[in-house]
Chain A
Amino acid sequence: MSRVFIFFVRKEFLHIFRDVRTMVILLGIPVVQLILFGFAISTEVKNARIAVLDLSRDAASRAVTERLDASAYFDVGWHLEHPGDVEKVFREGKAPLVVVFSERFQQQMLHSGSAGIQLIADASDPNYATTLTRYAEAIIADFERELQASDGVAADGLSADGQPGSTQAAAPQGIVPQLTILYNPRLQSAYQFVPGVLGMILMLICAMMTAISIVREKETGTMEVLLVSPVRPILIILAKAVPYFVLSCVNLATVLLLSVFVLGVPVAGSLVWLVLVSFLFVFVSLSLGLLVSTLTRSQVVAMLISGMSFMLPVVLLSGMMFPVEHMPRVLQMLSHMIPAKWFIIVVKDLMIKGAGISAALPEVLVLCGMAVVFVTLSLLNFKHRLE
């Protein structure tokens, strides 16, 4: 029987190698995705062209404007004259953010300590708007703090009228929190998406490709001949899984190498455990693909089911893009059913946090449980006949 198995595996490899296009896509996906996420799709703001409406036109407002302009985040692209222009700027979609200085900005700042700056953001892209305002706020706060730190001196220099009364004592010191960011000190998004991409790719290759390759045999009618042969179905399935397992290993290596050497995300924990857990996840995905193949008859349906029920949830519900903790209860419950979610948690623990396997034990156990369920279901569902 082992000779049959080897022949079978060889045949599956031939299918993959002969379909060069698919093979290139499968091997290229991790590279393209990592590079896209790493370099092209960046949520960080750089040189956003903003507009300024300065009703005060004094030294302080100019200083703030210069600071905004000088920062890496903003370019002041337009200086508006009238409050009415603000609406126009947004309507024309020129600037995503308008900074408005109230009249007598400097005086207000020096006397009452509460000067008026208005940030008006175009929130048609809410994430972008939030990020922009946050950066602008930080720059303004910075400016204010420095002003206070330099005591009255800077304020003196700024006060154009040179009124002695304006050199009052520094404003009461606010609470300045000391931030310590663990595991990802530079807050790079790569730390977030490397585990996500890994989960997505392994799921794609194992589940989707296994399902498609089994269903293809059904569709072309070769499954009829395979079933009529004395070979046990379990052998057919195992032979189908082997090449995709190998392919997943190649992809695992690609993703890890790229993330360590190109994106600079280190493997903080044990590489051995990381690989072993990845194998477990590959196994879960393979069994899921097998389950899909027992439920569908055509490649298109298999692809749609894998795409809709694996890929989308992996992207949306696994915590790869959006934090699961902030989702409605129903979606949180749903996310528990997604293998990739658990895998991504483990990878974060092992790879980013450098935690030991004991920290990830609950998630690993969940994955083991899923594997058992999927394999059992698909074996129960596998048909030794055509219906």
Chain B
Amino acid sequence: MKQPAETVTVRHLRKSHGNTLALRDVSFQARAGEICGLIGPDGAGKTTLLRILATLLVPDSGQASIEGLDVVKDYRAIRSRVGYMPGRFSLYQDLTVEENLHFFATLFGTSVQENYELIKDIYSQIEPFRKRRAGALSGGMKQKLALSCALIHQPSVLLLDEPTTGVDAVSRKEFWGMLGRLKLQGLTILVSTPYMDEAGQCDQISLISEGEILRIGTPVEIVRSFRKPLWNARGDDMHRLLLNLREHPAVEACYAFGGNHHLTLRDDSLTPAELSAYLSDRGHAGIRIAEAVPGVEDCYMELLRTPQQTLL
């Protein structure tokens, strides 16, 4: 059994691509049997971080280690312990499902028969299509195949770069279900995603923006740190509504959130009724304002907007 100690340790990692700083002083830890989410928009530095851990990039400064092995010095040893799934679909599109899986098994010095048990749960779903070329699979099936290929050599750490991007909602849900079961087998799973709503599936999340970790914690901790009242606003003309809400002096921040607008206020002096009246004066109809429960995305928006200390 693996000890529940840190399997992935990252300390003060810095990395620049040319003139752009992709990572500035990133530190975090992940434990065995944990799903650790790296959450942030495109260009936040998630891919760079995962590539450094996968030994594909060398950091400018700082250290990173996987199970005590340094990602720079011991990169050969790490490569057989890590299962890596790059962001783009990285299987051979002109090979069949079966051929891809056999190829990656052989590549890592094992065979599909040997480790079938590991991937059975996932692979059995796409096995009916094993003669189909990978390029002809749907997005969800491609992800399952890619995950099977990344798991076939029994890695202890799984690095997944945006595995659910471009995948339909049902497959995304299924995919997280599979990750949950893998976690129970003791794998350390690092997964990056731009979808804030997936944060809840993780045991630990790191909110990343522009190469910096804004906040680390469990999803519950992160949401709990959001202490301000949050309102949800709807109206018939959503675009103008957003502009008018932002004009109001008592509104601190307002942003589109799905089909609604979320807004925070500078103080508690304003009531929903007063805000409704203000909006009616500006010709809005169908206004509905209610208190909302903050989610990870609200925290992210708040962290982006304000210097970190205000929330701590």
Q: Which residues of A contact B (CB under 8 A)?
A: 3-4, 7-8, 11, 14-15, 18-19, 220-222, 224-231, 384-387
Contact = CB atoms under 8 A, between A and B. Distances in A.
B139 interface: no
A231 B90 contact: no
A26 to B, nearest CB: 16
Given A14-B94, A385-B57, A386-B57, A7 B89 contact: no
Q: Which of B54, B75, B92 has the most CB of A within 10 A?
A: B92
Given A4-B109, A222-B91, A229-B107, A385 B86 contact: no
Contact of B95 (A8, A14, A225, A385): A14
22 contacts: A3-B106, A7-B103, A7-B106, A8-B107, A11-B92, A14-B99, A15-B95, A18-B95, A18-B133, A19-B94, A220-B93, A222-B90, A222-B92, A224-B84, A224-B86, A225-B86, A225-B90, A225-B104, A228-B55, A229-B79, A230-B108, A387-B57
Contact of A11 (B51, B57, B79, B103): B103
B154 to A, nearest CB: 13
Contacts of A228: 54-56, 79, 82, 84
A386 to B, nearest CB: 4
Nearest to A236: B107
A385 B55 contact: yes
Interface string B70-95: 00000110011010101111111111
B51 A386 contact: yes
Interface of B: 51, 54-58, 75-76, 79-80, 82, 84, 86-95, 99, 102-104, 106-109, 133, 149
Contacts of A384: 75
A351 B82 CA distance: 55
A12 to B, nearest CB: 10
Contact of B80 (A3, A4, A15, A230): A230
Q: Which 4 A-B pairs have the closest CB atoms?
A: A221-B90, A221-B88, A7-B106, A18-B94
Nearest to A18: B94
Q: Which of A7, A11, A384 has the most CB of B within 10 A?
A: A11
B133 to A, nearest CB: 8
A3 to B, nearest CB: 7
A228 B81 CA distance: 10
A221 B86 CA distance: 7
B103 A224 contact: no
B292 to A, nearest CB: 39
Contacts of A7: 102-103, 106-107
Contacts of A230: 76, 79-80, 108-109
A221 B75 CA distance: 19
Given A18-B95, A221-B86, 8 more contacts: A7-B107, A225-B84, A227-B56, A228-B79, A228-B84, A229-B107, A230-B76, A385-B57
Q: Which of A18, A228, A386 has the most CB of B within 10 A?
A: A228
B106 A224 contact: no
Interface residues of chain A: helix, strand, loop or mixed (majority): helix
Nearest to B78: A228
Contacts of B106: 3-4, 7
A3 B103 CA distance: 11
Contacts of A226: 107
A23 to B, nearest CB: 12
Interface residues of chain B: helix, strand, loop or mixed (majority): loop
A14 B56 CA distance: 27
Q: Which of A15, A19, A222 has the most CB of B within 10 A?
A: A222
Nearest to A230: B80
Nearest to B87: A221
A185 B103 CA distance: 56
A209 B106 CA distance: 25
A56 B303 CA distance: 103
Contacts of B82: 228
A8 B99 CA distance: 11
Nearest to A6: B106
Nearest to A7: B106
B153 to A, nearest CB: 8
Contacts of A18: 94-95, 133
A385 B104 CA distance: 19
A8 B86 CA distance: 20
Contacts of B133: 18
Q: Which of B91, B103, B107 has the most CB of A within 10 A?
A: B107
Given A15-B94, A230-B76, A230-B80, A224 B89 contact: no
Contacts of B149: 225
A238 to B, nearest CB: 14
Nearest to A226: B107
Contacts of B58: 385, 387
Nearest to A223: B90
B110 to A, nearest CB: 11
Nearest to B106: A7
B52 to A, nearest CB: 10
A224 B90 contact: yes
B109 A224 contact: no
A97 B58 CA distance: 71
Nearest to A225: B90
Contacts of B107: 4, 7-8, 226, 229, 231
A386 B56 contact: yes
A386 B71 CA distance: 14
A387 B16 CA distance: 12
Contacts of A14: 94-95, 99
B30 to A, nearest CB: 18
Contacts of B93: 220
Nearest to B92: A222
Contacts of A229: 79-80, 104, 107-108
Nearest to B133: A18
A19 B133 CA distance: 13
A161 to B, nearest CB: 86
Q: Which of B93, B104, B106 has the most CB of A within 10 A?
A: B106
Contacts of A385: 55-58, 75
A387 B102 CA distance: 28
Given A7-B103, A224-B86, A386-B56, A15 B92 contact: yes
